[in-house]
Amino acid sequence: MNKVLEKTLKFNNGLEIPQVGLGTYKITDESENLESIKAALENGYKHIDTASIYNNHKTVARAIKESNINRKDLFITSKVWNSHHKYEMAKQAIDDILNELELDYIDLLLVHWPTEDRLECWKALEEAVEEGKVKSIGVSNFQPQHIEELLKVCKIKPVINQIELHPALQNQQVVKICKENDILVESWGTMIRGKCFDIEEIQLLAKKYNKSTAQICLRWAYQLDYVIIPKSSKPSRVIENVQIGDFELTLEDMNLLASIKEYRDGPDPDNFDF
């Protein structure tokens, strides 16, 4: 039993999310990466992060079915893609996600990026909660100004903001506004999307703790109470990456990670052509 996979964090609506899940970006219905999702479920993962744009809802549905795990013991996140943020389209997208995943409800549904139609999408998400289609709703890649705007008009407060967040992009302003408003922070790209091996400070700590560079990045985020969703298409890495419960980074080492030269791997939400 891996205790790291058992740990949950509480949302501002009282529901809980397993702090660690499996990311699935680039695992597609065509890529035959079913084995990595199955390996995750067989080895104690309860939480899977997907999105309409990943084109893998059917593979996720199959892995869930074949796992024989009770639905209520799983936590499934998906996201409404940018092309479907207008109100009517978002409503349709939500039903499509439920159908593709073959689920009666989604645990967490996110607005994928802060497009200009983000508030229309939010209204559709709020209605999906009222209709019992979704348990909790949140946002992704929202900057402080997007969060402030949403908090002024929402009926239901977002429970989480999923952002690019790793030792080389500590995103302090977004983290601060989330904390001030009781919104959990979720890190995507925690392993710097595989680039963690190239960074000297991370290599140094990997040697010191006798862990992989991936595990150093994941432990950093885990210690800071961020939700993490490391992705791998390889079953052995899916298991190894989350062996992070048996060591703790010292304050000095956390500070060393904070000193890494800033690097953003994905698009900047402030300059993203939606």
Residues annotated in a binding site = 112
Choose between 101 and 192: whose C-beta lies nearer to ligand NAP: 192
The answer to whether residue 114 forms part of the interface with ligand NAP (CB under 6 A) is no
Residue range at the interface with ligand NAP (CB under 6 A); choices 57-65, 198-206, 226-234, 243-251: 226-234
Residue 161: strand pairing partners = 139, 185
**Cα separation, 55 vs 75, whole angstroms:** 19
Among 139, 169, 229, 242, binds ligand NAP (CB under 6 A): 229
Choose between 32 and 88: whose C-beta lies nearer to ligand NAP: 32
CB 146 within 8 A of CB 118: yes
Known active-site residue 54: yes
The answer to whether residue 85 forms part of the interface with ligand NAP (CB under 6 A) is no
Dihedral angle over CA of 106, 112, 116, 119, nearest 10: 30
Give the DSSP H/E element, type plus range, for residue 76: strand 75-80
The angle at the Cα of 174, spanning 17 to 115, to the nearest 5 degrees, equals 85
Choose between 123 and 237: whose C-beta lies nearer to ligand NAP: 237
Residue 178 is encoded by which pair of tokens? 């989330």
Over the window 135 to 164, marking each residue x when it contacts ligand NAP by CB under 6 A and - when it does not, the resulting string is -----xx--------------------x--
Residue 259: strand pairing partners = none
Residue 54 is encoded by which pair of tokens? 């990943």
Residues that bind ligand NAP (CB under 6 A): 23-25, 49, 112, 140-141, 162, 188-194, 212, 214, 229-234, 237, 241, 266
Q: Which residues are catalytic?
A: 54
